[in-house]
Amino acid sequence: MSLKTFQDLIEEVHNRGICEECGGCVSFCNAAEYEVIGFIDPYLPPEYIHKDKCLECGICYYICPQTHVLDDDLNKTYQFTNFSSLPIGHYEDIYSCQAIDKNFLENGTDGGVVNSIINFMIEKKMIDGAIVSKTDAPFVREATFADSKYDLLKASGTMLDITPQLDEIQKFSTYTSSISELNYYKFKKLAVVGTPCQLYTIRCMQDLGVTPSENVEICLGLFCYENFFFEKSQLERFEKDFNIKFSDIKKINIKEDVILKLKDDGNGEKIIHIPFNHLKKYMRPACNACDDFTNIYADISFGGLGSSDKYTTVIPRTEKGSRIFSQVLESGIISCADLDANKKHKMIELISQFSQSKIKRKEDFMNNLI
Ligand SMILES: Cc1cc2nc3c(=O)[nH]c(=O)nc-3n(C[C@H](O)[C@H](O)[C@H](O)COP(=O)(O)OP(=O)(O)OC[C@H]3O[C@@H](n4cnc5c(N)ncnc54)[C@H](O)[C@@H]3O)c2cc1C
Ligand code: SF4
Ligand code: SF4
Ligand code: SF4
């Protein structure tokens, strides 16, 4: 029996419009120095570059989040049963936390917890650095290596010479091929921050024992209901649709919906909530084919949903994730809201509802594809 190859990914994934552009296939192929495939257009799925060099090893097919070949293996490793019994995946506990460091808190998307943990791990020499995401120019977000507090804050976009309101929307607007960046940091111990689709391919690579996944010491997963695709032409339409000016946006968060904080126009700060279902025309189409909201294969997952403003919801999942999070708590670099069992239960219920809604969205989308 011949193995499936990238040609099968084109037919089964790209041509059906469900490529998540996670970069997993490209990352493996390039790390193995085959360089058969690559991203030619950053807004399109990867393509053949040297098709004649393809070894037909099949790894790109195995690790793709849309083929689900390794789901059973991963579910065993990460103690995930199925979405209907536990929509948020296996977890050890749930917290709502914020950074003590004012820089991480002020520049953080929510409570600045992810960057605080990475910084802690670098300082304690648990990792050499992390693959995070930075803004290079308006509407271009790229994976980057950070090995200091300065790098982490720089990646938050705060020191870049672009208008702050564009910087805000970019946190969510374009996609980052974080995994490809792993190739450049062989022989280092890395943390990787990523959305569920990105971390899925890393876990598959680890399951198969293929390079460059051996570099990844810890997977820090972000919740992700959907990602957006903002071409410049769409900005005007967005302003019209929601009767706002981009230049008035001070901050954007994604929790149970998209939250825009507008600048004080003299009558106080205005907050606008836009439900996900009003943003359909700005959503990346492939996100319809994705059912993981809370990043079930991460060591620790993070999101805004379930927590108050300036706090991050934290879900340690694996033994390693729980151990590192306990060390973080002991070190006093973050503080956590006092949550009793009832409050924790309510958070889990809320997050489960969003998880279920994402699962349902995928089911509907896939039914319509066939
Ligand atoms: C595309 C996207 C969609 C999201 N959707 C939701 C949602 O629907 N509901 C919800 O509750 N939360 C969502 N989140 C998570 C939320 O916005 C925060 O990232 C999370 O709560 C952590 O906040 P923090 O302040 O602790 O992180 P910080 O301390 O600010 O650190 C965030 C880290 O993530 C890195 N990063 C940012 N964007 C990316 C990216 N695209 N790929 C890889 N690394 C990245 C940054 O470089 C930084 O290191 C989403 C995040 C993203 C990027
Ligand atoms: S060499 Fe292997 S990983 Fe690269 S495109 Fe061919 S089948 Fe995929
Ligand atoms: S691995 Fe990622 S980038 Fe490659 S085909 Fe699959 S979804 Fe697309
Ligand atoms: S919804 Fe998020 S995790 Fe899923 S494909 Fe889109 S960006 Fe990736």
Cα of 265 to ligand 2 centre, how many Å? 55
Q: Which of 10, 12, 35, 56 to mutate to test the pocket of ligand 2 (most atoms within 8 A of CB)?
A: 56
What residue ranges in 186-330 does DSSP mark as E strands?
190-194, 216-222, 249-254, 258-262, 270-274, 300-303, 312-316
Work out the percent of the chain whose per-residue pLDDT is above 90.
56
- Hey, which residues does 129 pair with through a beta bridge? 190
- Decide if 109 contacts 172 (C-beta within 8 A): no
Q: Is any atom of ligand 4 closer than 6 Å to the C-beta of 196?
A: yes
What does the pLDDT read at residue 364?
95
Cα of 132 to ligand 4 centre, how many Å? 16
Which one is predicted more confidently, 60 or 135?
60
Q: Which helix (H) or strand (E) holds 141?
A: strand 140-146
| Residue nearest (by alpha carbon) to ligand 3 atom 1 | 64
Which ligand is in closest contact with the Cα of 13? Answer: 3
Work out the percent of the chain whose per-residue pLDDT is above 70.
87
Q: Which of 29, 41, 66, 200 to mutate to test the pocket of ligand 3 (most atoms within 8 A of CB)?
A: 66
Q: Which of 25, 47, 60 to mutate to test the pocket of ligand 2 (most atoms within 8 A of CB)?
A: 60
Among residues 370, 328, 349, which one has the least CA distance to residue 114? 328
Q: Is any atom of ligand 3 closer than 6 Å to the C-beta of 196?
A: no
- The atom of ligand 2 lying closest to the CA of 56 is 7
**pLDDT, mean over the chain:** 86
Q: Which helix (H) or strand (E) holds 98?
A: strand 95-99
Cα of 195 to ligand 4 centre, how many Å? 6
pLDDT in tens, 7-23: 999 999 999 989 988 88
Q: Which of 13, 229, 258, 284 to mutate to test the pocket of ligand 4 (most atoms within 8 A of CB)?
A: 284
Question: Residue 12 corresponds to which tokens in the numbers above?
Answer: 């089964």
Cα of 223 to ligand 3 centre, how many Å? 19
- The atom of ligand 4 lying closest to the CA of 195 is 3
d(CA 127, CA 315) in angstroms, rounded, equals 20
pLDDT in tens, 304-313: 999 999 999 9
- The amino acid occupying position 24 is G
What does the pLDDT read at residue 176?
56
Cα of 142 to ligand 3 centre, how many Å? 17
What does the pLDDT read at residue 139?
45
DSSP characters over 30-73: HHTT---EE-SSTTS--EESSGGG-----HHHHH-TTT-TTHHH
Q: Is any atom of ligand 2 closer than 6 Å to the C-beta of 31?
A: no
pLDDT in tens, 258-299: 888 888 888 888 899 999 889 888 888 888 999 999 999 999
Residue 158 has pLDDT above 70, yes or no: no
In the three-class reduction of DSSP (H, G, I as helix; E, B as strand; rest coil), residue 84 is classed as: coil
What does the pLDDT read at residue 12?
96
| Residue nearest (by alpha carbon) to ligand 4 atom 8 | 197
Which one is predicted more confidently, 293 or 179?
293
Cα of 31 to ligand 2 centre, how many Å? 11
Task: Cis check for the bond before 45: say yes or no (omega within 30 of 0).
Answer: no
Which one is predicted more confidently, 61 or 269?
61
What pTM did the predictor assign? 0.92
Q: Is any atom of ligand 1 closer than 6 Å to the C-beta of 151?
A: no
- Hey, which residues does 301 pair with through a beta bridge? 221, 315
In angstroms and rounded to an integer, the radius of gyration of the C-alpha atoms of the chain is 20
What does the pLDDT read at residue 183?
67
pLDDT winner (highest mean) among 151-155, 222-226, 233-237, 343-347: 343-347
d(CA 108, CA 220) in angstroms, rounded, equals 15
**Residues 41-47, mean pLDDT to the nearest whole number:** 82
Q: Is any atom of ligand 2 closer than 6 Å to the C-beta of 55?
A: yes
d(CA 119, CA 314) in angstroms, rounded, equals 16
Domain ranges of the chain: 94-369
d(CA 8, CA 47) in angstroms, rounded, equals 12
**Residues 119-132, mean pLDDT to the nearest whole number:** 95
